[in-house]
Amino acid sequence: MQVLVTGGAGYIGSHTVVELLNNNYEVIIVDNFCNSKREVLDKIQEITKKSFKFYEGNVCDKAFLNKIFDENNIEAVIHFAGYKAVGESVAKPLMYYQNNIDSTLALCEVMNAHNCKQIVFSSSATVYKESEIQPLQENFPLGTTNPYGTTKLINEWILKDLYQADNEWNIMLLRYFNPTGAHESGLIGEDPEGIPNNLMPYIMQVATGKLDHLNIFGNDYDTKDGTGVRDYIHVVDLAKGHLQALEGFKKYKGVNIYNLGTGTGYSVLDIVNAFMEVNQVDIPYKIVSRRPGDIGRNTGDPTKAYKELGFKAEKTIQDMCRDAYRYAVTHQKK
């Protein structure tokens, strides 16, 4: 089966491509490297020893997409391509709306024209309204607080409307919680430009000496140790969920929405302590004030994905910390 992976050179996309190739899917990657590096493609090849097609270009470009669909026999698309930094989306909303929405509109139009009507879309836990009740379930109220989150919600609406208009479409909306870790080979992982916003990339830079300490944003939340609690999921577990979603197309028609998380919450201090213990490195930290817009707890109930897709995250926070550090160390030498 030929699968088109948009954003396949990115963090989650590259891990998903590895799983697809290892499971004998024919993969076509499209990426414009606006947030990834070309060398990732060689690393995918090195890990899997398998070949795949690659097209460099912008998913918002319909002529470019038409060419890809004309030259191949694509049966399903996994759509990762998009911008993902919350803070940047507040500063540059038009850039976020343009890229994250135009890419989906162009892609769906071209898919329609080629009678390819199966799409797995990267949504996010950020589409949920803040809730006292945790873990979050797929039918909980939705609401966003920043342009990035709004682009995810609008994409969900677009895809739902598309199905309303044409019931031949099959759509999987996957709401990821906090992807972290790296491939166990140490060859691919998360490598943000500049000072990271997210917890694990920041810890990785402290561990490798690029930054001298971690700022922990608040220890006065209503959580077991006062620091923020999240549902961290190993990126390889998350990647595997996409293969289960593709399989799910055979059984579940229409629009289906799934949380991809573990259902278990860990605090910032849990992560820092696990990282220090498994990697035997020191992570100096300071407690600072809360980060604006942060919430105390955000965890997702993965029961529906388990029952319907057979999805179950297997890896532990120790695995996430070990694999993230291995990638940081390997990558730094290059």
The verdict on whether 148 is a catalytic residue reads yes
Concatenated DSSP letters for 274-316? HHHHHHT----EEEEPPPTT--SEE-B--HHHHHHH-------
CB 286 within 8 A of CB 213: yes
Q: Does 58 bind ligand UFG (CB under 6 A)?
A: no
Neighbours of 321 (CB within 10 A): 27
222 burial via Cβ count (<10 Å: 0-12, 13-18, 19+): exposed
259: enclosing H helix or E strand: strand 254-260
d(CA 230, CA 329): 25
Using alpha carbons, select from 54, 28, 47, 53 the residue that is nearest to residue 188. 47
Binding site for ligand NAD (CB under 6 A): 7, 9-13, 30-36, 58-60, 80-82, 84, 99, 103, 122, 124, 176, 179
Residue 265 binds which of ligand NAD, ligand UFG, none (CB < 5-8 A, kind-dependent): none
Residue 103 binds which of ligand UFG, ligand NAD, none (CB < 5-8 A, kind-dependent): ligand NAD
Of all residues in the shown chain, the one whose CB is closest to ligand NAD is 10
Using alpha carbons, select from 104, 20, 27, 90 the residue that is nearest to residue 62. 104
Residue 9 binds which of ligand NAD, ligand UFG, none (CB < 5-8 A, kind-dependent): ligand NAD
Residue 217 binds which of ligand NAD, ligand UFG, none (CB < 5-8 A, kind-dependent): ligand UFG
Least gap, CB of 86 to ligand UFG (angstroms): 5
Q: Does 291 bind ligand UFG (CB under 6 A)?
A: yes
Least gap, CB of 203 to ligand UFG (angstroms): 8
The catalytic position among 55, 96, 148, 258 is 148
CB of 19 or CB of 31, closer to ligand NAD: 31
Q: Does 294 bind ligand UFG (CB under 6 A)?
A: yes
What's the DSSP call for residue 255?
Answer: E
Cite the active site residues.
Answer: 148
